[in-house]
Amino acid sequence: MPDRYVGHRTPEGGWSWEAAGSPSPQRGRHGLLIALTAVGAVGACLLGAAIILTASGDNSKPSINPSPTAEPTFSLMVWNRETDQWQAENLNLGPATGGVTFLVNIDSAGRTTHEVGISFECAGTGSIELVDADDPAAPLTAPGPGRLRPDATALGGALAAWSATFSGAPEWDAGGNCSELQTLRFVAQGRGETSSFILEASEAADVIGGDRSISVAASVDGEPAQTLSVGY
**Residue 55: φ, ψ to 5°:** -65, -40
Helix, strand or coil, per DSSP, at residue 52: helix
What pLDDT, on the 0 to 100 scale, is given for residue 47? Answer: 45
How far out from the chain centre does Cα 175 lie? Answer: 36
Give CA–CA dist 217/227, Å, rounded: 4
Write out pLDDT tens, residues 139-183.
999 999 999 999 999 999 999 999 999 999 999 988 778 888 899
What pLDDT, on the 0 to 100 scale, is given for residue 186? Answer: 98
What pLDDT, on the 0 to 100 scale, is given for residue 13? Answer: 61
What pLDDT, on the 0 to 100 scale, is given for residue 96? Answer: 62
Length of the chain: 232
pTM, 2 dp: 0.68
Label residue 122 by pLDDT band (50, 70, 90). confident
pLDDT of 62 strictly over 90: no
- Is pLDDT larger for residue 202 or for residue 105? 105
Label residue 9 by pLDDT band (50, 70, 90). low
Label residue 72 by pLDDT band (50, 70, 90). confident
Helix, strand or coil, per DSSP, at residue 231: strand
pLDDT of 207 strictly over 80: no
Strands annotated E in 28-96? 74-80, 85-87, 91-92
> Closest Cα to residue 90, out of 231, 222, 228?
228
Give CA–CA dist 214/78, Å, rounded: 11
pLDDT of 34 strictly over 50: no
Write out pLDDT tens, residues 35-54.
444 444 445 444 444 444 44
- Is pLDDT larger for residue 143 or for residue 125? 143
